[in-house]
Structure 1
């Protein structure tokens, strides 16, 4: 079953596997995604082009608006999967972080069991894992073992994928098929992609967006290459809009109207429908 903001379901349909309806960070002043009606319009456009589900990766302390998501899901007829978890330390006020870090596992489990969140979002560092990342991922792994929900990882500029694999799946015993790595398209190294895919991890390619524009053009070819290598059942695709300036440009609907037609129909069905149901189940 997949935990959504309106309850558990057994399938998602055509899915945007990584995006943000709401998000705020101290490192992005003035760029907050906090407009409920703007979020509704984005969901409505996505629905009108055939989209059926959105996975929001916004974690604890970043204005994820769990209160607004159920009504948005009902109004738009789009299934929404929300996240618990914690991002890099830079995104939070030090005082809030100091009070939150000792309770992470407890907070993650409470979110999943009481607030209908369906994934645990954590983050690595640039080409490595700092003590904050190790602490956060350790709490995420423990919460995963308690609840069974997947762990989704922000890779900083697409790096440190193998470090995450070693920690989460090696030392912390999270099954690889319960891990989703985001932003691998930002550091499109085929050797790294093949290594993590061979381990059984889900690979979430997040674009098109302004943040990923430099490597967006490589994504369709990368997806096809990985599928031909036998990893079609592990590929996911999302938009990852993170700032108000990027909202609607090109928007969630672009995934369905422009990217899906570029893929082999059978591969597109796996990436947009079959794989998200298994990844977030």
Structure 2
């Protein structure tokens, strides 16, 4: 029987409930800390816990915390506040993207780039697998997703190496796999690599698809069997909100509604309602975006409630379930 791995143990897929499929809650990215970019440091456990409380009050049950080690993962704090707020968190093993790797690895004398470059592929695979099967950073908390990523319109040699590491880790563990795409680029190029390595594409989700709202591109990705994460909700600086909805409904028109996941990529103090910046908060998607989407979906001839059941409940329950592997 399949299971989903959360920080507080493995659960049945039916127990996952209403889920955000790409967010962050408490993290201190070394790259941004070295540059004193305060907005990108979610470093108040109290403020982050209040966000989780709001999320829970709005109807949320679970979310995927996509914070990889190179983005300042803080698993002990996240586990503690999640347990108090009765929110199920799925944690990440793996890597984010290349430009973050110039910073020092916490507790080490080298940078992420130096570590990735000098380490044999097998050693990196073993490291990622261990975080899924044994625990993160020597803790009792195990990761439930393996992650990789690439930069804007390019795949660097080190990123290419980590793509292979994560595919192999996925194949060993059976964990779901998440891929960062900078501004929604390079998904098809990643797909070529993944297919060469024999990845089951139905185990993969591509992030940031709404950063590049190209219906043709989305169809090509969906045709591989992969999931598409629309996780930029509230980011009007990229495009008006209706553009995202149109892109989602275009996929639904072609029968791909079972491959769509939703999240907010909540990653800045200015996005928070509790970090003193007056932001919209983690609850926004459920409290405010959800009714708007239902209305727009109905106007386009869809059952908006049924679609959101897929996006928030049925699709995450299927995607985050481990497939066959050593686990």
**In structure 1, distance between residues paired with 2:124 and 2:280:** 35
TM-score (structure 1 length as normaliser): 0.94
User: How much does 1:277 deviate?
Assistant: 0.8
Correspondence for 2:31 among 26, 30, 36:
26
What CA deviation, in whole Å up to 9, does each residue of 1:101-123 have, x standing for no partner? 51421221111011210111211
User: How much does 1:215 deviate?
Assistant: 5.1
**In structure 2, distance between residues paired with 1:146 and 1:266:** 35
Alignment of 1:156-175 (within 5 A): 156-168=182-194, 170-175=195-200
Q: Which has the larger radius of gyration?
A: 2
Alignment of 1:14-93 (within 5 A): 14-23=18-27, 24-27=29-32, 29-30=37-38, 31-92=40-101, 93=103
Correspondence for 1:96 among 103, 106, 111:
111
What CA deviation, in whole Å up to 9, does each residue of 1:65-85 have, x standing for no partner? 111222222211111001011
What CA deviation, in whole Å up to 9, does each residue of 1:79-105 have, x standing for no partner? 100101112232132622212451421
The answer as to 2:194 corresponding to 1:146 is no
Correspondence for 2:318 among 275, 278, 281:
278
After the TM superposition, which parts of structure 1 deviate over 6 Å for at least 4 consecutive aligned residues? Answer: none
Q: SS at the partner of 2:148? A: strand
Q: Is the 8 A contact 2:22 2:231 kept in 1?
A: yes
User: How much does 1:165 deviate?
Assistant: 1.1
Correspondence for 1:205 among 216, 226, 230:
230
What CA deviation, in whole Å up to 9, does each residue of 1:236-259 have, x standing for no partner? 000102222222322221111122
**In structure 1, distance between residues paired with 2:224 and 2:271:** 34
Q: Residue 161 and residue 211 in structure 1: after superposition, are their counterparts in 2 closer, same or farther (change >3 A)?
A: farther
| Mean Cα deviation higher: 52-61 or 210-219 | 210-219
Structure 2 alignment gaps of length 5 or more: 105-109, 136-141, 274-278, 295-303, 322-327
**In structure 2, distance between residues paired with 1:82 and 1:212:** 28
Q: Residue 212 and residue 184 in structure 1: after superposition, are their counterparts in 2 closer, same or farther (change >3 A)?
A: farther
The answer as to 2:291 corresponding to 1:265 is no
The answer as to 2:241 corresponding to 1:241 is no
**In structure 1, distance between residues paired with 2:166 and 2:242:** 33
TM-score (structure 2 length as normaliser): 0.81
**In structure 2, distance between residues paired with 1:259 and 1:48:** 15
Q: CA RMSD in A?
A: 1.7
Q: Is the 8 A contact 1:155 1:161 kept in 2?
A: yes
The equivalent residue for 1:8 is: 10
Q: Is the 8 A contact 1:16 1:252 kept in 2?
A: no
User: How much does 1:228 deviate?
Assistant: 1.5
Structure 1 alignment gaps of length 5 or more: none
Q: Is the 8 A contact 1:209 1:241 kept in 2?
A: no
What CA deviation, in whole Å up to 9, does each residue of 1:19-56 have, x standing for no partner? 01123141463231121111111110000010111100
What CA deviation, in whole Å up to 9, does each residue of 1:155-202 have, x standing for no partner? 01111110111111x111111110000001111111110001011100
